[in-house]
Amino acid sequence: MTDPLAPLAASPDHYALFLDIDGCLIDLAPTPDGIVVPDGLPETLARLSGRMGGALALVTGRKTEWVDATFGRAFPMAGLHGFERRRADGSVQEVPVPPGLDLARDRLARFAHEPGLVLEDKGIAVAVHYRQAPARRAEVEQAMAALAAEIGPAWELQSGKSVVELRPAGASKGAAVRAFLQEEPFRGRIPVTIGDDVTDETMFPVANAMGGLSIRIADPSEPTEARAHLPSPAALRACLERIAAWAA
Ligand SMILES: O=P(O)(O)OC[C@H]1O[C@H](O[C@H]2O[C@H](CO)[C@@H](O)[C@H](O)[C@H]2O)[C@H](O)[C@@H](O)[C@@H]1O
Ligand SMILES: [Mg+2]
């Protein structure tokens, strides 16, 4: 298999790396809390970040606190699909939360009691997962669409892998990557964006437009703006470990 990260491995000082988490760095699990962080992954990312002058950020649908606790480190990151952003210097981009969250929580707490559904409360976003009840997909999509219509245009739906989420409107992973690229230590570097899902599709054109690398962890037959593929999170981790090890 050709290594799509070979250019980064050859010149880590020239690149900025933006990594999705679920389904990309980490294998998918039946529930949001069921994931397993492979031994050594946070250390590999830290070594790689060091080799890249700190120009490595996590860009995820998860909330920042969850990522910090799960990885045991505070990487630069964009959480909640770009809504939260912590810069490399540790400062946080504050964004006002629109009204309506209590209403959404109240409605979904009752709805997600249905067997097989999992409610994930992310503080300023709420998600309903149906991975364990795939037959309920249409029901979940309808309930979330009705809630989005009720709560108003300051909120929007984000679909993902066996999940529908209600989150504040206006943010995207692509916008978060563009914002990082205005700042040290990302500024002036060539972006590398890696993800596995629809929400990551907003990052890929940013990299493509700047002569960077866009990589989707997926079957290559799936439609995507990404220009390269890797078959699995394990394959990505192996590439990252190789690059990080060269720094040792
Ligand atoms: O942007 P990401 O880092 O990929 O996060 C996307 C969502 O990931 C999580 O849900 C997904 O992974 C779960 C654990 O493997 C899986 O059970 C679920 O079906 C997936 O949709 C997370 O729970 C969400 O909050 C993220 O938005
Ligand atoms: Mg993902």
115 vs 128: CA distance, rounded Å: 12
How many angstroms separate the CA atoms of 1 and 135, rounded?
36
**Domains recognised in the chain with CATH numbers:** 6-94+171-246 (3.40.50.1000), 101-168 (3.30.70.1020)
Question: Which amino acid makes up residue 74?
Answer: A
DSSP per-residue string spanning 70-123: HHSS---EEEGGGTEEE-TTS-EE--PPPS-HHHHHHHHHHHTTSTT-EEEE-S
Mean pLDDT by 10 residues, the chain (248 residues): 91 97 98 97 97 98 97 97 97 90 90 91 95 97 96 95 96 97 98 98 98 95 95 97 82
Distance in Å, CA 21 to ligand 2 centroid: 5
Catalytic positions, please? 20
Neighbours of ion ligand 2 (CB under 5 A): 20, 22-24, 196-197
Atom of ligand 1 nearest to the CA of 165: 27
Q: Say what the pLDDT of residue 1 is.
A: 65
Predicted pLDDT at 232 = 97
Q: Is 158 in the pocket of ligand 1 (CB under 6 A)?
A: no
Closest Cα to atom 13, ligand 1: which residue? 32
**Maximal CA-CA distance, the chain:** 54
Distance of alpha carbon 172 from alpha carbon 192, whole angstroms: 16
Q: From atom 5 of ligand 1, which residue's Cα is the shortest distance away? A: 61
Task: Please spell the DSSP secondary structure of 128-174, one letter per residue.
Answer: EE-TT-GGGHHHHHHHHHHHHHHH-TTEEEEEETTEEEEEETT--HH
With a 6 Å cutoff on the Cβ, whether 79 touches ligand 1 is no
> What is the CA(17)–ligand 1 centre distance, in A?
20
The two tokens of residue 221 are 């037959």
The span from the CA of 141 to the CA of 157, in Å, is 9
Q: Which ligand minimizes its atom distance to the CA of 67?
A: 1
